[in-house]
Chain A
Amino acid sequence: VRTRPGYAAPVASRCYSHGKVETDEEFNARWVTYFSKPDIDGWELRKGMNTLIGYDLVPEPKVLDSALRACRRLNDLASAIRILEAVKDKAGPHKDIYPYLIQELQPTLAELGISTPEELGIDKS
């Protein structure tokens, strides 16, 4: 889910007022494609996730689904759990976003066998 600003994030990190502005669907499609690369490597996964978390938004479930599947291809369960923690942290004070994401991702989590941080008890310090 993205809390909607008055504009969508530009494709490159330049701010031009008259250039083409990317829509939400294009943004999501671009990121789903990025994580869907069959032979994605660890560096690309990390770079992608760190960049995505740097944006002023909480990623859509389908983008996260793609990222979690990338973790599966890389046999990296720890990163999958970390991604869930990161999006919960990203939602900040909006406490209803994370449960929504988990609800949407439930089929994927069940299919891949990913436990949420809450199930493992690492959401408490």
Chain B
Amino acid sequence: MLATRALSLIGKRAISTSVCVRGGHGVAKVEDYTLPAYFDRRETPLPDIAYVQALTPEQKALKEKEKGSWAALSNDEKIALYHLSFKQSFAEMNQGTGEWKSVVGGIMFFIGFTGLIVLWQRKYVYGPVPHTFDPEYKQQELQRMLDMRMNPVEGFSAKWDYENKQWKK
């Protein structure tokens, strides 16, 4: 690469067309990924290469016309020239994809699926709940809490009317 750097000082050859000769073995193959690439990016409005590299004869003719007055070009020709150099306009490259809808949909689907697994588990995997959950047992618990005056000032027993044996309205 030092040789090609030196060469490019002498002549204006693009690095992509210059040849790396290594110690007499011949030409090193130039890999695609080593060449300048085209990117549509907001922060790099003018990419390293034009989008369309191989021009058809009509496109070549248009490029010749570009050397003259630009006012002589029609709008369609100007748009065609733009798309020779660039793939997407700024508006196109900045538009959203709507991918987020798929993502949210996927999230909800998998949460729903997990819910189904949880329900199935509750039915088929877990044993019965302890007897302390029976309604009769719960009633006795509640009576015990009232009898021992739990939270009598502001909490539980404070809401029970001991005179009339009912909850306070």
Q: Chain A residues near B48: list those with CB within 8 A.
A: 46
Interchain CB contact under 8 A, A50 and B90: no
Answer whether residue A33 sits at the interface, using C-beta atoms and an 8 A cutoff.
no
A108 CA / B55 CA spacing, docked (Å): 30
Interchain CB contact under 8 A, A77 and B12: no
Answer whether residue A22 sits at the interface, using C-beta atoms and an 8 A cutoff.
no
Interchain CB contact under 8 A, A81 and B78: yes
Interchain CB contact under 8 A, A77 and B66: yes
A53 CA / B63 CA spacing, docked (Å): 27
Answer whether residue B153 sits at the interface, using C-beta atoms and an 8 A cutoff.
no
Evaluate whether A50 and B44 lie within 8 angstroms (CB atoms) in the complex, with A77-B81, A78-B84, A120-B78 already known: yes
**Stretch from A5-13, A23-31, A83-91, A99-107 forming part of the interface with B:** A83-91
A102 CA / B49 CA spacing, docked (Å): 27
Interchain CB contact under 8 A, A88 and B90: yes
Count residues of chain A with CB under 8 A from any CB of chain B: 32
Our pick among A79, A112, A117, A120 for the contact of B46 (Cβ within 8 Å) is: A79
Interchain CB contact under 8 A, A82 and B46: yes
Count: A-B pairs, CB below 8 Å: 90
A19 CA / B54 CA spacing, docked (Å): 50
Q: Chain B residues near A112: list those with CB within 8 A.
A: 70-71
Q: Chain B residues near A49: list those with CB within 8 A.
A: 45-46
Answer whether residue A123 sits at the interface, using C-beta atoms and an 8 A cutoff.
yes
Interchain CB contact under 8 A, B69 and A46: no
* B91-110 interface with A by 8 A CB criterion: 91-92, 94-95
Distance of A12 from chain B, by nearest CB (Å): 20
Q: Chain B residues near A78: list those with CB within 8 A.
A: 50, 81-82, 84-86
A79 CA / B50 CA spacing, docked (Å): 10
Answer whether residue B27 sits at the interface, using C-beta atoms and an 8 A cutoff.
no
Answer whether residue B32 sits at the interface, using C-beta atoms and an 8 A cutoff.
no
Closest to B80 in A: A78
Interchain CB contact under 8 A, A114 and B90: no
Interchain CB contact under 8 A, A77 and B95: no
Knowing that A53-B43, A89-B45, A112-B70 touch, tell me 12 more A-B residue pairs with CB under 8 angstroms. A49-B46, A53-B44, A54-B43, A77-B78, A78-B81, A78-B85, A79-B85, A82-B86, A82-B90, A113-B71, A122-B79, A122-B89
